[in-house]
Amino acid sequence: MTDPFKDEISIDDKQFIRNSNLNSFDEVSLEVLEEMSKLETNFPTLSTDYRLIDKIGEGTFSTVYKAEALNGIKLNSEVWNSPPLKKSKTSKKNPIVALKQIYVTSSPNRIFNELNLLYMLTGNSRVAPLLDVLRYQDQILAILPYYHHYDFRDFYRDLPIKGIKKYLWELFHALDYVHDKGVIHRDLKPTNFLYHPFKGKGVLVDFGLAERINLPGTCPCLSKEKLVGSRHKRLNVKGAYPKIDNRPPRRANRAGTRGFRAPEVLFKCTNQSTKIDIWSAGVIGLSLLMRKFPIFNSPDDTDAMLELSWIFGVDKLVKCAELHGCGLEISMKEVNKSGNLIKLLHDFLTKEIECDSFPEDSVVYETLELFNEEGDDFINGEHYKDHINLINLLKSCFKMDPSKRLNAKQILKLPFFSELIELDEEEVIL
C-alpha cells in the first residue's frame, strides 16, 4: 500500500539519523563491543551463523542485538517474503535480524510461553514473526526480522493528525490479529510497537508477558450470578466499610507496565480479557494527541487509580471498583467528580503553549485551534472531523467496563479510519 500520509508528516528525516538504529560498526561503544564479544564467547555456536552488529535494546528480561545472518535464514516460510528481508535478498546482502537474548534468570515456563506465542502468531506483517531459536546450554536466543523504526520519543510530539491516524491503524490491526488468535499482549506500550513514521508501518513485538485467554470477553466480576460461590464475595461498598476485611487477598495477573494498565488490572479482576490491550492502545493514542509522554507516571497502583480519576472523574472510577467487588474512596476535594477528556486536552495544551514548550510551527496548534474558548468542546466543522473522530475513538477505548469497551475489529471500523478503509478497499479491487 502506498503511504498517503508520507508528505504530511512534517518531521525532518535527517534529524533522526543520529538517533536511529543505523549505527555502523565503528559507532558502537566499547562497552557494547565487549558485551557482544562476551556473548559470542559464552554462546560458541552463535558466530557460525550470525555476526553481531550492535545492541538495540535492553529490558528487565532480555537484551536485543542487531545481527547479520551470515548464511541467510534456512527456514522456508512465507514470512521471508515480507519486508525488510525481501530487500536484503534482492540486494544480495545477508538478512539483518534482531537477536533477543532472553535472560537465563527467566523461568523456563516464561521463556517457553514467549517463544510459543511468537511461533503461534507468526504470519502477519504487523506482528514480529519468530524466525529461529538458538539454544546453548541454558541460554536462549530468539531470532526475529530486524525492523528499522524510530524511538517514540523522537516523533510523538510531531505527528500530525493524519500521522496519528496511520500509527493507530497499524496498531489496532496488529491487536486485531493477536486478539483473534486468543492472545492478550498485556504489555502494550510504545517501546513494544516498533513504528516507522515515514513508511507508516508498525510491528508489534515483545510477547514476554502475553497470555492466552480461556474465555473470550467477559469479566466474572461483572456478573452477579458468577460471583455466587466465589471466594471473592462482592463487598457492599455502598454501606460502611468493614474495619477488618477478612476475605482472602485477591490474586490476579497484574503484569504489564504502570501507566498503561487498564482499571480492571488495577482492581485485580481475575478474568482479564483482550480489552486490557485496548485500554493501553487508548493511552498511546491519547499520548499522541496530547503530545505528552508518558501520560501517567505513578509510582504505585494507588497513585495510578488517582491519576485515572483525575482524567475520567471519581464517579466513574468508584463505579468501576464496584464492578470488580472493590471499594474505592478518594477524599481529595480537588479531584473531579466527572472527567472531561476534551477540557483536559485543552487545558493541558494551553498550559504547554504558555510555557513555550512547542516550536512556533508545531503540529500541536492544529489541535489547539479546534477548541471553543471555554475549552469544553470542539468547534464543529468538516475541518475538525479527524480530531472529533479521534476523541470518540479514544472514548471507546477508555470505557471502564471492559464489556462496553470496543474490540480492535470494531475500532478499525470507526469513522476516524474511514479514509484508510476506503484505500484498503480500493487496493482489494485493483
Q: Does 79 bind ligand ADP (CB under 6 A)?
A: no
Nearest-angstrom CA–CA distance, 367 and 392: 15
C-alpha cell, 50: 550470525
Of the candidates 54, 187, 206, 386, the residue annotated as catalytic is 187
Binding mask 293-332 for Mg ion (x = CB under 5 A): ----------------------------------------
Contacting residue, 101, 124, 192, 362, with ligand ADP by CB under 6 A: 192
The stretch among 54-62, 312-320, 339-347, 406-414 that binds ligand ADP (CB under 6 A) is: 54-62
Task: Spell out the residues 6+ positions from residue 210 whose beta carbon is closer than 8 angstroms to its own.
Answer: 113, 114, 117, 178, 183, 184, 185, 186, 187
300 is catalytic: no
Nearer to ligand ADP, 25 or 365 (CB): 25
Segment contacting ligand ADP by CB under 6 A, of 61-69, 167-175, 236-244, 403-411: 61-69
H helical segments located in 97-255 = 108-121, 161-180, 224-227
Q: Are 65 and 41 in contact (CB under 8 A)?
A: no
**Does residue number 114 form part of the binding site for Mg ion (CB under 5 A)?**
no
Q: Is 174 one of the binding residues for ligand ADP (CB under 6 A)?
A: no
Task: Map the footprint of ligand ADP across residues 92-121, applying CB under 6 A.
Answer: 98, 100
From 19-27, 59-67, 239-247, 412-420, span contacting Mg ion (CB under 5 A): 59-67
* β-pair partners for 142: 100, 133
Instruction: Give the H/E segment covering residue 213.
Output: none
- Residues within window 139-158 making contact with ligand ADP, judged by CB under 6 A: 144-147
Q: From residue 279, how far is each of 263, 307, 366, 406 by CA, in Å?
A: 9, 15, 25, 10
Residue 63 engages Mg ion in binding (rule: CB under 5 A): no
- 206 near Mg ion, judged by CB under 5 A: yes
Shortest gap between Cβ of 61 and Mg ion (angstroms)?
Answer: 8
Residue 280 lies near ligand ADP (rule: CB under 6 A): no
In this chain, which stretch among 53-61, 210-218, 219-227, 262-270 interacts with ligand ADP, using CB under 6 A?
A: 53-61
- 279-309 as b/e: b if 16+ CB within 10 A: bbbbbbbbbbbbbbbbebebeeeeebbbbbb
Is 192 a binding residue for Mg ion by CB under 5 A? The answer is: yes
Q: Are 254 and 265 in contact (CB under 8 A)?
A: yes
Only one of the segments 51-59, 232-240, 369-377, 392-400 lies at the binding site for Mg ion (rule: CB under 5 A); that segment is 51-59
> Distance between the two ends of the chain, CA-based, in angstroms?
11
Backbone angles phi and psi of 127, in degrees to 5: -130, 130
Contact code string over 206-235 relative to ligand ADP, x by CB under 6 A: x-x---------------------------
Gap between the Cα atoms of 51 and 36, Å rounded: 10
Write down the least CB distance from residue 192 to Mg ion, Å. Answer: 5
Those residues with Cβ within 8 angstroms of residue 279's Cβ, 6 or more apart along the chain or in another chain: 260, 261, 262, 263, 397, 398, 405
Tell me if 290 sits within 8 A of 251, measured CB to CB. no
As measured in angstroms, the least distance from the Cβ of 189 to ligand ADP is 9
Nearer to ligand ADP, 205 or 390 (CB): 205
Q: Which is nearer to ligand ADP, 147 or 169 (CB)?
A: 147
User: Taking the complex as a whole, how short is the minimal distance between the CB of residue 191 and Mg ion, in angstroms?
Assistant: 5
Whether 170 contacts 201, CB under 8 Å? yes
Q: Closer CB to ligand ADP, residue 158 or residue 206?
A: 206
Choose one: 114-122, 191-199, 250-258, 406-414; the region binding Mg ion (CB under 5 A). Answer: 191-199
Q: Cis omega before residue 294 (within 30°)?
A: yes
Count the Cβ atoms, other than its own, within 10 Å of residue 350.
Answer: 13
Nearer to ligand ADP, 64 or 278 (CB): 64
Please state, in angstroms and rounded to a whole number, the distance separating the CA atoms of residues 407 and 241.
35
Closest separation in Å from C-beta 56 to ligand ADP = 5
Measure CA 218 to chain center: 22
In degrees rounded to 5, what are phi and psi of residue 142? -95, 135
Give yes or no for a contact between 299 and 315, defined as CB atoms under 8 angstroms apart: no
Residue 56 near residue 151 (C-beta atoms within 8 A)? no
Interface ranges with Mg ion (CB under 5 A): 59, 192, 206
Residues taking part in catalysis:
187
Site residues for ligand ADP per CB under 6 A = 56-57, 59, 61-62, 64, 98, 100, 128, 144-147, 191-192, 194, 205-206, 208
